[in-house]
Amino acid sequence: MKNFLPQEYKKNEKLNINHSYLVEQFADYSKVFKEIEKVVKKGDYTLGSAVDICEKNFAKRTGAKFAISVGNGTDALLLSLKALSIGSGDEVITVPYTFVATVGSIVTAGAKPVFVDVKEDYNMDETKIEKAITKKTKAIMPVHWAGRPCEMDKIKSIAKKYNLKIIQDSAHIIGARFKKNHLVNYGDTCTYSMHPLKNLNVWGDGGFIVTNNKSLADKLYLIRNHGLKNRNSVEVFGYNSRLDTIQAVVANYKMRNKLDNITSKRISNSIMLDKLLAKNKNITLVKRHKHLKEVFHLYHINVKKRDKLKKYLIKNNIDAKVHYPIPVHLQKAAKFLKYKKGDFPVAEKLANTSLSLPVHEFIKKNHIKHVVNTIEKFYKN
């Protein structure tokens, strides 16, 4: 196997309107370097003081009592499962329309993923959950896809009825709200990613688990660092999933100086796209609801002739991506679960019609108009 990412980066560099925005976003890298210099002089690279500050900042951002930083968003899911004692013989209900990390964390923990279909808004269909519950079910793992919250009051009600844990895959959703409330109030943990392409990103990998449960937080603080209570005392056997101090510096800089602008720009760009695309009969938009604050990690449309439109946009120097063309239940890795084509029709339909358009903070109004005009030209030909 070969590292495929460098080739992906090269392809993206050629496009004028791009999903990737990292060069622009960190054009002021010299300011971050000055803060990193302090880490170098102190030498506290592993769980240093900047990590403590970062955890406090992140807890405040998410309305949580506790924020535990970890190595990446996948570890945030895995360690949540481990801290809640979910493993071999247990089942976790989740969705097939997600990035593979969601399902991979369940399998890595030793549990079995059980899928329910999504709705037209890409999020878990809460009306399908109860039928999927068995005696082995221990948790529900909803995915807040693309920056849109799931219907968490209904999911929480089901979890309470059946005494199930809730681990929220919140990788896309920093800054979102459900009925004006922080999402941490609707489950045992919320897990976040700070992958370079996320709304809150760092210069590599990083993640967070937030919770309002002190005993759970105490356990998570232990298992993310080998189970060490101090330098010489191991309370439990754990993992090595620590947020690097240097990445904490980057995250602190972003939260302090950029995240609010990133969120507001993505929202305003998405509103403009919604308005301009609404009349195109070849496009189906996700319906917006007042009780949801979406933060648009991705901007999705469902379109006719999806693959041809994608090629046309790229030919015209507009980046268009598919997130994702193969639902997880139809992936080779999921064969042991014995699902088949047709089991989750909405997820499969979205996989064939969904297209993501650039929506980040460096997309200007004239860019949006150009993207929309290019789409209209495609359908007129």
In the chain the domains, ranked by start, together with CATH numbers, are 5-15+258-380 (3.90.1150.10), 29-257 (3.40.640.10)
**DSSP code at position 258:** T
Each residue of 167-211: pLDDT tens digit? Answer: 999 999 999 999 999 999 999 999 999 999 999 999 999 999 999
| Residue ranges of the chain with per-residue pLDDT less than 50 | none
Q: What's the CA angle centered on 310, arms 285 and 313, to 5 degrees?
A: 100
Which residue's structure tokens are 């191991």? 234
Name the phi and psi angles at 45, rounded to 5.
-70, -30
Q: 3-state DSSP call for residue 301?
A: strand
What mean pLDDT, rounded, does the chain reach? 96
What is 198-216 written as a DSSP string?
Answer: SSS--SS--EEEEES-HHH
The 8 Å CB, 24+ separation contacts for 315-318 are 316/374, 317/14, 317/15, 317/16, 317/17, 318/15, 318/16, 318/17, 318/357, 318/358, 318/370, 318/371, 318/374
Position 157 scores a pLDDT of 98
